[in-house]
Structure 1
Amino acid sequence: MTAKDQRVAVLMGTRDGAAFIGEQLESLFAQSWPAVDLWVSDDGSTDATVAIVEAWRSRWNKGSLTLVDGPRKGFAANFRSMVIDPRIDADYYAFCDQDDVWEPDRLESAIRWMEGEDIDMPLLFCSRTATISQTGIPAGYSPLFRRPPSFRNALVQSIAGGNTMLFNRKARDLLAKASARTEFVSHDWWAYLIVTAAGGKVRYEPRPLVRYRQHAANLVGANVSWKARLSRLGRLFQGQFATWTDSNLRGLAVNRDLIARDAALCLRLFIRARKGSTFRRFSLLGKSGVYRQTLMGTLGLYLAFLSRRI
């Protein structure tokens, strides 16, 4: 099967993105992978976003370009609507933000890795990101993670942005089934959770394949400075992380039938670790084997557990 026979569905969520979406569309058009169907779910833009996308219809010769109305319930619900949409059919699927810039081999690098893996297994590819300013000036990189991706990590950390993710048909089928049963906090964390929970395989690519644009309207900030990292770690102690974790656990609870045996054991220990005495919490958390990607993050996790902030 040639590259032209293997289609990628790019799932782009938009809302008032006129300022930067043109540059992103140019980078999608410049992808080395030849067969790309673009699905754009617009979540109620009041600027020229829709007009810019419409203007690309006649130019988009890599495949189809489909524009749909989003649910208008936030970015996570917008991506969820595309994950569960039965009209979207492809060999591979990639999440896409409206204001990034993709490297030309963003799609091909992920697909080439998947071609060497078991196609009957849910596969998810993600990568590090480079950060650029509003005007496109390089501003740094997301942290370089070295510990292996796994469900034990996914329970307490989202390893990469959805804008770097590509997944195969098996993973999409899994995500669609799981997502139809529940809502979620963030599509990227949910994808990482469900794929690893079901025994799928995740590849974290250390080479940045996406340039993430940092600007005032971003929904989620870049994690590139020590200040930003400390801010995120601080959420462990402010209750926000506990709220997110509660949401993830509710989603996993209604998808018990999709969870592999090893992941289910880890999950039970993690849930039990959130209750009881200090010693019990510490002991069960250790037995669960959960970890964050950095030593500082893991230490913060344990401290938050012991102080009952999770």
Structure 2
Amino acid sequence: MIAILLSTYNGARFLAEQLDSFEQQTDRDWCLVWRDDGSTDDTRTIMYDFTARIGEMRCREAAGSGVHLGAAQSFLALLPEAADAEAVAFADQDDVWLPDKLARARHGLASAGNRAVLYCARQYLVDEHLQGRRLSILSGNQPGFPASLTQNIVHGNTMVMNRAAANLVSRIPGPLGTVHDWWSYIVITACGGEVVIDPKPVVLYRQHKGNLIGSPPSTLARAIAAIRRGPGSFMTMMRRHVFQLAAHTEYLTDQARNDVARIGAGLRGGIARRTHALRCPGLKRQTELENVLFRFWFMIG
């Protein structure tokens, strides 16, 4: 069974359409575990009504629901609630899943065996009325570590992790300020897991003023957005991610352990150590324009 992990927060406006899309899945072997992050609108009422309709065996509220943790920690707190599921799928409250989403994810994970595998896919970017479909960016470079420290290319609202992958993410707590999909991508690649990217879109990703992050329409727009944000927040999160991995090296591959030590030394050191860290194989973003910016920020940040 696939456990759908849904974190809600004042989502009453769009939530019903997402819940309906769960029921329309061609793969019916799923259950829903949800956690509310302190809503003040009708979100919880909608969830209770949905539970009453499909039954408590298929939909249940997580322990600790109602306490505000923030989106990332709320999602990560759901992982232990689905410890018996063969796979877990993160779900945003304001999207709409296409009917074959879970079926494609199950197929993408089928050959995993005992390996940790994270499946993700492309999205259709739509407006708040689900109109104007545009395909999300398809990553050009192979996902892996340490590239995962430089950029998140995993769409959290399409993510499905098998049991081995979910166990890894559960063992290494996400640092303050991280986002659940990026942290999952970092942990799984640092621990030797695999990322499978499905080129077919499986979600209608609603773009509206309340989006926590949103999605840029192109690589150029992504680079421009990064320039506007500046190096401060990016370098802060890079340090937190690297140092959190450094505190849990027992789960990392030998190569990742060496990379973390080298990059961590660069982040703490001067120009020579930073230059040495930047020569780490694979420590790069998706495009050359983004790489120029990343290297500059790493040297000064």
Normalised by the length of structure 2, the TM-score is 0.92
Does residue 206 (structure 1) correspond to residue 207 (structure 2)? The answer is no
Distance 2:106 2:97 in 1: 15
Corresponding residue SS for 1:131? strand
Distance 1:62 1:208 in 2: 30
Aligned to 1:150: 144
Deviations 1:74-105 (A, max 9, x none): 101101211233x6421110000000011111
Distance 1:83 1:43 in 2: 15
Does residue 71 (structure 1) correspond to residue 29 (structure 2)? The answer is no
8 Å CA contact retained: 2:235, 2:297: no
- The answer to which of 61-70 and 213-222 deviates more is 61-70
Does residue 84 (structure 1) correspond to residue 80 (structure 2)? The answer is yes
1:90 is aligned with what amino acid? A
Aligned to 1:162: 156
2:190 is aligned with what amino acid? A
8 Å CA contact retained: 2:120, 2:158: yes
The percentage of counterpart residues that share the same residue type is 32
Distance 2:250 2:102 in 1: 31
1:303 is aligned with what amino acid? F
Superposition pairs of residues 10-29 of structure 1, within 5 angstroms: 10-29=4-23
Distance 1:253 1:218 in 2: 32
Deviations 1:35-83 (A, max 9, x none): 1110110111111111111111243269510123143121011012112
Change (3 A) 1:284 1:45: closer
Distance 2:251 2:176 in 1: 16
Distance 1:290 1:166 in 2: 25
Q: How many residues matched?
A: 299
Superposition pairs of residues 1-310 of structure 1, within 5 angstroms: 7-60=1-54, 64-68=58-62, 69-85=65-81, 88-117=83-112, 119-179=113-173, 183=176, 185-225=178-218, 228-234=221-227, 237-278=230-271, 280-306=273-299, 308-309=300-301
Normalised by the length of structure 1, the TM-score is 0.89
Distance 2:253 2:101 in 1: 30
What is the deviation of 1:139?
Answer: 4.7
Deviations 1:191-211 (A, max 9, x none): 001111110111112222111
Distance 1:227 1:300 in 2: 12
What is the deviation of 1:247?
Answer: 1.8
What is the deviation of 1:107?
Answer: 1.1
Distance 1:140 1:17 in 2: 23
Corresponding residue SS for 1:218? coil
Corresponding residue SS for 2:128? coil
Distance 1:268 1:197 in 2: 13
1:222 is aligned with what amino acid? S
8 Å CA contact retained: 1:102, 1:209: yes
8 Å CA contact retained: 1:36, 1:62: no
Distance 2:70 2:37 in 1: 8
2:250 is aligned with what amino acid? D
1:169 is aligned with what amino acid? R
1:129 is aligned with what amino acid? Q
Distance 1:251 1:162 in 2: 21
Aligned to 1:4: none
8 Å CA contact retained: 1:35, 1:63: no
Corresponding residue SS for 1:56? helix
Distance 2:115 2:168 in 1: 10
1:89 is aligned with what amino acid? D
